[in-house]
Amino acid sequence: MLLDKSKIIAGPCSAESQEQLRAVIIELKELGITNMRCGIWKPRSRPGSFEGVGEEGLKWIKELSAEFDINIFIEVINKEQAELALSYDIENYWLGARTTTNPFLVQEISKALNNKSKTVLVKNPIAPDLNLWLGAIERVEKFNPQTKIIALHRGFSTFNLGSSRNNPLWEIAFQLKEKKESIEIYCDPSHIAGDSRQIQFFSQMALDLGLTGLFIEVHPDPVNALSDADQQLNFLQFKDLLAGLSIKKKPQDLTLDELKILRSEIEKIDKSIIQKLEERLNLSRKIGKVKEDNDLQIFSYPRYKAQIKNYCDEFDLDSNLIEQYYRLVHSFSVKVQSENK
């Protein structure tokens, strides 16, 4: 199945000129896409980089919206920007990751939008904090009951990033969906990847995980872009991306015998692992008792480090998995020993 084009929002990281925006709109329309993004105020982590064209960009957008049938999304970072943008009849917005981090800003922007916007995309906050994301969505909702709100997953700043610019931590998006079933979640693969060569991978992954739309940076000439040059796609790359993406069937819709058999094997393994975890915790309690009787500290860092290394050396399994498993079960052992249950 092909991705529904109405679920794609694409465009430059920053609006740089009206000609640049017009070129992007023409390309999008040719591809059947009617939603464009462009930042006109750019919140940059460090000073000295391009911070957007500002109000001038609102004039360009107003004119282009009259010329073309296109929904143009911009980011607003405070209430003054929201009020100014509304005065130019802008209807579609997103709240960026740095804004969602701050409930005061979200509240004042939500109030300023005053139920006058068509769509607001709420990016996840920079930190992996589900309640901040959820809270931002609730605040926008509270003051804008007529507005369509979409959650936008752009990855998180974490200490261990792996190879991407922002860590996707997909589980947080799943938990958001659990807490708020009605919300649609789109993915921003550009800010997760930070690298144009990885956009295809993260886009397909998002769709395979059940996210319903994509928010992608596309620029006529990415190499010379004034912001985020490394992660923007040129038109040809964007066309190729769209041609390569597919929506797969949901596994729960299938009744494949082969899948049923393999799943029942997996369930058996899960049950035996859970049973073993119980045995492990019981042993851990006994160890806790010995430590207490002998006035020993609970946690031995050298042993903890050595065990992770031993298991990684002994087993030919992804060492990340071994390490995460060990850290998790070990933290439970420490908990039961310190509670002395």
Q: Which does 27 bind (CB under 5 to 8 A by kind): ligand PEP, Mn ion, none?
A: none
Question: What's the closest the beta carbon of residue 42 comes to ligand PEP, in angstroms?
Answer: 6
**Three-class SS state of 117:** coil
Question: What's the closest the beta carbon of residue 188 comes to Mn ion, in angstroms?
Answer: 9
Provide the mask over 87-106, with x wherever binding to ligand PEP is found by CB under 6 A and - wherever it is not: ---------xxx--------
Q: How many CA atoms lie within 13 A of 64 on its CB side?
A: 28
Question: What's the closest the beta carbon of residue 96 comes to ligand PEP, in angstroms?
Answer: 3
Which residues, 6 or more positions from 97, have their beta carbon under 8 angstroms from its beta carbon? 123, 124, 125, 126, 154, 191
Q: Where are the beta strands (DSSP E) in the chain?
A: 8-11, 35-37, 71-75, 92-95, 119-123, 148-153, 184-187, 213-217
Q: Which of 228, 238, 241, 284 binds Mn ion (CB under 5 A)?
A: 228
Closer to ligand PEP by Cβ: residue 161 or 243: 161
Q: Which of 7, 154, 165, 219 binds ligand PEP (CB under 6 A)?
A: 154
Closer to ligand PEP by Cβ: residue 93 or 337: 93
Question: What's the closest the beta carbon of residue 165 comes to Mn ion, in angstroms?
Answer: 10
Q: Which does 154 bind (CB under 5 to 8 A by kind): ligand PEP, Mn ion, none?
A: ligand PEP
How far apart are the C-alpha atoms of 126 and 99, rounded to whole Å? 9
Q: Residue 209: what residue type?
A: L
Residue 138 burial class via C-beta count within 10 angstroms: exposed 0-12, middle 13-18, buried 19 and up: middle
121 binds ligand PEP (CB under 6 A): no
Q: Which does 125 bind (CB under 5 to 8 A by kind): ligand PEP, Mn ion, none?
A: none
Question: What's the closest the beta carbon of residue 233 comes to ligand PEP, in angstroms?
Answer: 14
16 binds Mn ion (CB under 5 A): no
How far apart are the C-alpha atoms of 322 and 71, rounded to whole Å? 47
Q: Which does 113 bind (CB under 5 to 8 A by kind): ligand PEP, Mn ion, none?
A: none
The CA-based angle 319-325-326, given to 5 degrees, is: 90
- Helix H segments across 189-318? 189-193, 199-208, 235-244, 257-293, 301-314
Closer to ligand PEP by Cβ: residue 98 or 180: 98
Provide the mask over 2-31, with x wherever binding to ligand PEP is found by CB under 6 A and - wherever it is not: -----------x------------------
* Structural contact between residues 309 and 315, judged by C-beta atoms closer than 8 angstroms: no
13 binds Mn ion (CB under 5 A): yes
Q: Which of 123, 139, 165, 219 binds ligand PEP (CB under 6 A)?
A: 123
191 binds ligand PEP (CB under 6 A): yes
Question: What's the closest the beta carbon of residue 227 comes to ligand PEP, in angstroms?
Answer: 7
* Structural contact between residues 92 and 74, judged by C-beta atoms closer than 8 angstroms: yes
DSSP state at residue 7: G
75 binds Mn ion (CB under 5 A): no
* Structural contact between residues 193 and 202, judged by C-beta atoms closer than 8 angstroms: yes
**Residues forming the site for Mn ion (CB under 5 A):** 13, 228
**Residues forming the site for ligand PEP (CB under 6 A):** 13, 39, 96-98, 123, 154, 191
